[in-house]
Structure 1
């Protein structure tokens, strides 16, 4: 009798091993999900992702399909595959808009676009800093985070989303100022003034507003538009009295270089192509 009882744990372990050795198509949906989840919790992300993909292919509309999709988004994010995160999150919010964890998909969609915005350059090293940086993903991220806040104001992810939106606004405003500086150096004063107007109108109360106003003063001075220059200067003195270009008590313009007559292609190729 004692021997028979001792054999039971051994038999159970053999049964468990045999179930793990089954081919995926021979396992139940729950077993496939549990195996994928175990790998996820062990931080074996590559193994986990493959198991989730197997589950998805065999049971695309099964009991665990929705939860598996959310966990796959996380795995793609951990592996820095932001395009897959975007694709899966957009598909999820479209197919399961009422899912109790849909806010997580909205949040990850914003995070993916946010990461893409800071990893994407049209030209990696630009003569004037980041003037030619592609900020389209940042615009997308701002909109995605905004969607999250509107749809799920009580979501635990809104605090981080709101902080990132503030940071994005600052970055986009600064980007416009960087482009305006580039235009100033090219003596494209109308384009520079227009960029700065965009900062003031679309990104009010950002840190870049002071620099935008200072550039507007200079641009309008070069355009021989004294009234507009005075208006911009008055705003600068009222709102940013400590701006560096007001340090001496009067406005100090920057020294502009001679017009750079090189083409865009010459600049980005360092003169190899003309």
Structure 2
């Protein structure tokens, strides 16, 4: 059916109005989006400078907000990778993790720092802090001592690389403590084997203390335990020889007094056996050397 001219005109007019309304709505919508975008740009906070972020991190460290500190140092590295503060931020982030007790994260961060800055003036401190992360994780002698070995390795690296520094001197003291700890573990295992009458295994443990940990506080006891084991095995000559070594090196120790009493009980004393010093004799001897 054909439409009249008026109806066609009205139809185009209606469509034209619809198009104009749609266009107007589109313009309004676009303008609204543009306004929102501009508003968001105005409200977005400006990133603090590298110096400011670094100072925020240091302030957080001083106030013991270690998690916040590590976050500030990380933010600095992400946004200012070439800043003069970035290297220090890398190192301080490792320190912040250390203070949190996050030793694995600290070691990871310090390894990254040392890889990027191997010749840095702060490299000695980074190696020392890395060693401390291992040292803080040393387990009780009742448990596995792999961590103690790792700590010793890291501490020895500090001494080897930076022998004339205060870090090396402190590392050496901690190495001695690690060695004493390892010797204590050997003694614990040796005593267990001895109680189980597994004398061969006990001998191996005690001998290792005497041979490999000579500067520790466990040597006197290790020698005494060796004498006990030799006597249990009927090895009188070995027992007397080991007792003489103990008496020569530790004449005023309680362990030599125990050994001397054992020798007397088993009728193994001889004219050349050194008598143990009493507590009073040992004290007077030390005073004599101190005065003269």
For normalisation by structure 2, the TM-score amounts to 0.68
* Distance change (3 Å), C-alpha of 1:225 and 1:155: same
| Contact persistence 2:94–2:110 (CA under 8 A) | yes
Are 2:197 and 1:187 aligned?
yes
Q: Distance in 1 between matches of 2:111 and 2:237?
A: 49
* Distance change (3 Å), C-alpha of 1:92 and 1:227: farther
* Distance change (3 Å), C-alpha of 1:41 and 1:195: same
Instruction: Look up the match of 1:14.
Output: none
Are 2:151 and 1:141 aligned?
yes
Instruction: Look up the match of 2:206.
Output: 196
| Gaps in structure 2 of 5+ consecutive residues | 1-43, 264-292
Q: Residue 231 of structure 1: CA displacement? A: 2.2
Instruction: Look up the match of 1:172.
Output: 182
Are 2:97 and 1:76 aligned?
yes
1:241 aligned to which of 245, 251, 254: 251
Q: Distance in 1 between matches of 2:183 and 2:225?
A: 13
Instruction: Look up the match of 1:226.
Output: 236
| Contact persistence 1:107–1:157 (CA under 8 A) | yes
- Structure with greater proportional helix content: 2
1:95 aligned to which of 89, 100, 116: 116
* Distance change (3 Å), C-alpha of 1:250 and 1:171: same
Q: Which runs of 4+ in 1 moved over 6 A?
A: none
If asked which structure has higher relative contact order (CA below 8 Å, sep 6+), I would say 1
SS at match of 1:224: coil
Instruction: Look up the match of 2:226.
Output: 216
* Distance change (3 Å), C-alpha of 1:61 and 1:137: farther
Q: Residue 44 of structure 1: CA displacement? A: 2.6
Q: Distance in 2 between matches of 1:210 and 1:89?
A: 40
Q: Residue 99 of structure 1: CA displacement? A: 0.8
Deviates more, 1:234-243 or 1:205-214: 234-243
SS at match of 2:260: coil
State the structure with more CA Rg: 2
SS at match of 2:234: coil
Are 2:118 and 1:106 aligned?
no
| Contact persistence 2:227–2:259 (CA under 8 A) | no
Deviations 1:228-256 (A, max 9, x none): 32321221111122232442782428xxx
Instruction: Look up the match of 1:36.
Output: 57
* Distance change (3 Å), C-alpha of 1:216 and 1:105: same
Q: Distance in 1 between matches of 2:259 and 2:178?
A: 33
Q: Distance in 2 between matches of 1:87 and 1:249?
A: 50
Q: Distance in 2 between matches of 1:246 and 1:210?
A: 8
* Distance change (3 Å), C-alpha of 1:188 and 1:92: farther
| Superposed CA RMSD | 2.3
Deviations 1:117-169 (A, max 9, x none): 0xx35xxxxxxxx4x32222122212212111221123232232222122222
* Corresponding residue pairs, total: 220
Q: Distance in 1 between matches of 2:236 and 2:148?
A: 36
* Distance change (3 Å), C-alpha of 1:137 and 1:200: same
Q: Distance in 2 between matches of 1:51 and 1:178?
A: 46
Instruction: Look up the match of 1:257.
Output: none
Instruction: Look up the match of 1:49.
Output: 70
